[in-house]
Chains A and B, each alone.
Chain A
Amino acid sequence: MIEGKKIKAKKRKHIIGILVEDHPGVLAKLSGMFSSRGFNIDTIIVGKTAIPGISHIIISLMGDDKTIEQIEKQVNKLIDTIKIIDLSPKHSVVREHCLVKVASNPKTRADLINISKLHKTSVIDISNSSMIIEVVGKPEKINNFLELMRKYGIKEISRTGINAMQRTRDNNHK
């Protein structure tokens, strides 16, 4: 709800979880609404939930508070939307999965494997000219790792987009 007319216009990253009915066309309705209202999505992932017939869509995007509020209301208006979950990093676990193909040769291979170990990532495929490394973690961790890989020569990147889940707070221990 808006209180007062002054709303902070500062843009920041938001993560919104949306529970939707799982039937054909739902994603089209959601993405169609985003494009027709001029909202930009940074990342989007769709998957099944523990409940049959209900899918989970997780969207990350940049926006000021007013825009985000309007987006949430418009998403809520879609008949297929069952619930919106605030997945701000404050209360949630946020992770992303990334595969990166880096150029490698016998000289750099050991280096790459060491860096990979230090960052708790896994080397999952090695060829004569490149290797594929799997990185899982917060998006910032992936960004940092990719930055390190840059000087070796990144050939391909495939990122899933942000996945997130609300933490459960146990009130008894407060």
Chain B
Amino acid sequence: MNGSEAIVKALLEEKVEHIFGFPGGAVMPLYDEFLKHQGELRHILVRHEQGAAHAADAYARVTGKAGICIATSGPGATNLVTGIMNAYMDSSPVIAFAGQVPTSLIGNDAFQESDMMGITLPITKHNFQIRDANKISSTIKKAFTIALNGRPGPVYIDLPKDVQTNEVSAEEKDTHIAGFKPVTAGHPVQIKKAAEMILNAKQPVIIAGGGILWANACPELQQLVEAFSIPITATFMGKSCFPEEHPLYLGVLGMHGRKAANYAVANSDLLIAIGCRFSDRITGNLQTFAKKSKIIHIDIDSAEIGKNVGVDLPIVGDAKNVLQQLNQMLKKMAVKKKNIKWAEKMKRFIQECDCSIDVKGNPIDPRKLVFELGKVLKEQDIVTTGVGQQQMFAAHFLKRSKPHTFISSGGAGTMGFGLPASIGAKVAAPDVQVFDFDGDGSFAMTQQELATAKEENIKVIAVIMNNAYLGMVRQWAELFFDRRYSAVHLKRTPDFAKVAEAYRLKGIRVERDSEIGAALREAYKSDEAVVLDVIVKEEANILPMFTAGANTTDMFGGCIKIKGKLF
């Protein structure tokens, strides 16, 4: 057995079925081996390595399994970097492989050599360079263990070319990682304290983060919410972890979140934060954030606890386990307590902040587009997004109630994520419809992946909210730079419907609000990928919002229907 055979064998042992990649000199031995395994290992040829990393990322988010991407050495590997960083910021278990120059040439500035170990160091959970074919199997096993356990995260593996062809003589069997012992269950003493705090709270609020989704803790979360009528808000990464139509669901919180959510957090006396990291987009001004609340922070990564926000009760553990423990403990304490008054107040507030608005008229209002998209989506359909205004419109107005049906670039905010992510999601879930809700700026960054969709017959529907601007930057320029627009006007180039046609796919241009529904339904029924170029109002803002670093309660603009003081 040579190195390449060992790599494929190790991947098959980990039940890998799909690989997103782009070949090149330094990975040709491995690609040659892929040919022999086409039935069991599907390789999806992307058109740019960044697309492979994003597709693998989304694949991981949909399946909970590791997403695999591969590139050649040098520029191929560096093209993966944005995608790896994206996965790192959103804790996604991507395993990225890249070729490397033969071990004898490492450090010599050989053709297409780059120090990927150095480059990926700060953006991976861990990285490996395999210098000995005997260590291929053990290293790949370790990589999967690290990527998938504890807080998930990307692992990079450097594959020098000679290692791919060398004979495996004495395979290393030891796959123990001495320094890797993720905590899974919460400490019983802390669980008891948390239960007491919950029972004593008058105005509790839950913040549910992406950790809920990674831990598949959605049912346990719902149990906790309903047992004590605790209003719940999700972080942007937590979106879809809780049914959005639920009367206790406050919406997404943070800079572009729902007023109801931010106000509820600010006025709570107990915050139960689960699987989130209190990013600056959520806390705003740290001095005033949740000033009145005690904070219970549950996270699998102890380094997140106390990093940004001081907490009163830390619980390190897997969200599912901890919530199970907590629910049991609360049941045992057998106190029938519902915070009816607080819950009713919140329910009223939620209704008053309801954002399901059907804004008619032309040019099309972005909210109308989201409204129509919401109508055609089935519960299990998946929506990925680009980054920018359209992403926040989706976060705010598009209701997603089944876990893992909303996939977006949160921590990194990577423009161009949407289309390759939709391809990865569709490969992971071929039986549902996958929409890429994108912007004209964001879509253009990775639009070459339409070729991947065409050639690999991966049916995704790209809906482009085309406002002819880098909309979010334009919005900030309008609000914070006195409407001085610097390099943000895209002037509706290209014609995205024609771009789709150039890739021999269907493209539909939509200019009237009355045409949106029909176009979406046509795309839904199509057998092949479709691009909808929806021409919307140029200078629509996504509101409400608060300014970076401001108090979360200082939101301006937005969709509160009834005026008056609620607190």
Choose, from B114-122, B346-354, B521-529, the stretch at the interface.
Answer: B114-122
Chain A 49-85 against B: per-residue CB contact (8 Å), 1 yes, 0 no?
0000000000000000010011001101111111100
Is B95 part of the binding interface, using a Cβ–Cβ cutoff of 8 Å? no
For A73, give the chain B residue with the smallest CB separation: B303
Q: Which residues of B contact A6 (CB under 8 A)?
A: 310
For B305, give the chain A residue with the smallest CB separation: A2
Q: Are A36 and B122 in contact (CB under 8 A)?
A: yes
8 Å CB interface, A8-31 against B: 20-21, 25, 28-29
Q: Are A7 and B179 in contact (CB under 8 A)?
A: no
Partner of B122, one of A33, A76, A81: A33
Q: Is the interface of B mostly helix, strand, loop or mixed?
A: loop
Q: Are A82 and B179 in contact (CB under 8 A)?
A: yes
Q: How distant is A73 from chain B, measured CB to nearest CB, in Å? A: 4
Tell me the count of chain A residues lying within 8 A, CB to CB, of chain B: 28
Given the interface pairs A2-B311, A20-B179, A79-B177, the reply to whether A29 lies near B121 with Cβ below 8 Å is yes
Q: Which residues of A contact B310 (CB under 8 A)?
A: 2, 4-7
Partner of B117, one of A5, A25, A74, A78: A25
Q: How distant is A33 from chain B, measured CB to nearest CB, in Å? A: 7
Partner of A80, one of B179, B301, B312: B179
Q: Are B125 and A79 in contact (CB under 8 A)?
A: yes
Q: Which residues of B contact A74 (CB under 8 A)?
A: 303
Partner of A2, one of B117, B122, B301, B314: B314
Q: Which residues of B contact A78 (CB under 8 A)?
A: 179
8 Å CB interface, B471-496 against A: none
Q: Which residues of A contact B146 (CB under 8 A)?
A: 79
Given the interface pairs A70-B303, A70-B307, the reply to whether A32 lies near B312 with Cβ below 8 Å is no
Q: How distant is B541 from chain A, measured CB to nearest CB, in Å? A: 34
Q: Which residues of A contact B178 (CB under 8 A)?
A: 21, 82
Is A118 part of the binding interface, using a Cβ–Cβ cutoff of 8 Å? no
Q: Are A28 and B307 in contact (CB under 8 A)?
A: no
Is B180 part of the binding interface, using a Cβ–Cβ cutoff of 8 Å? yes
Q: Are A79 and B306 in contact (CB under 8 A)?
A: no
- How many A-B residue pairs lie within 8 Å, measured between CB atoms? 51
Q: Are A32 and B121 in contact (CB under 8 A)?
A: yes
Q: Which residues of A contact B122 (CB under 8 A)?
A: 32-33, 36
Measured between alpha carbons, how far is A72 from B121 in the docked complex, in Å? 18
Chain B 299-324 against A: per-residue CB contact (8 Å), 1 yes, 0 no?
00111011100111010000000000
Measured between alpha carbons, how far is A28 from B124 in the docked complex, in Å? 14
Measured between alpha carbons, how far is A47 from B436 in the docked complex, in Å? 52
Q: Which residues of B contact A69 (CB under 8 A)?
A: 306
8 Å CB interface, B272-308 against A: 301-303, 305-307
Is B126 part of the binding interface, using a Cβ–Cβ cutoff of 8 Å? yes
Is A1 part of the binding interface, using a Cβ–Cβ cutoff of 8 Å? yes
Measured between alpha carbons, how far is A7 from B314 in the docked complex, in Å? 15
Measured between alpha carbons, how far is A82 from B176 in the docked complex, in Å? 12
Q: How distant is A129 from chain B, measured CB to nearest CB, in Å? A: 42
* A to B CB contacts below 8 Å, 30 in the list: A1-B314, A2-B305, A2-B306, A4-B310, A4-B312, A5-B311, A5-B312, A7-B310, A21-B178, A28-B118, A28-B121, A29-B121, A32-B121, A32-B122, A36-B122, A70-B303, A70-B306, A70-B307, A73-B303, A74-B303, A76-B302, A76-B303, A77-B301, A77-B303, A78-B179, A79-B146, A79-B177, A79-B179, A79-B180, A81-B179
Known: A5-B310, A36-B122. 14 other contacts (CB 8 A): A2-B306, A2-B314, A6-B310, A21-B178, A28-B117, A29-B121, A33-B122, A70-B303, A73-B302, A76-B303, A79-B146, A79-B179, A80-B179, A82-B178
Q: Which 9 A-B pairs have the closest CB atoms?
A: A5-B310, A73-B303, A79-B126, A82-B179, A2-B306, A36-B122, A81-B179, A82-B178, A32-B121
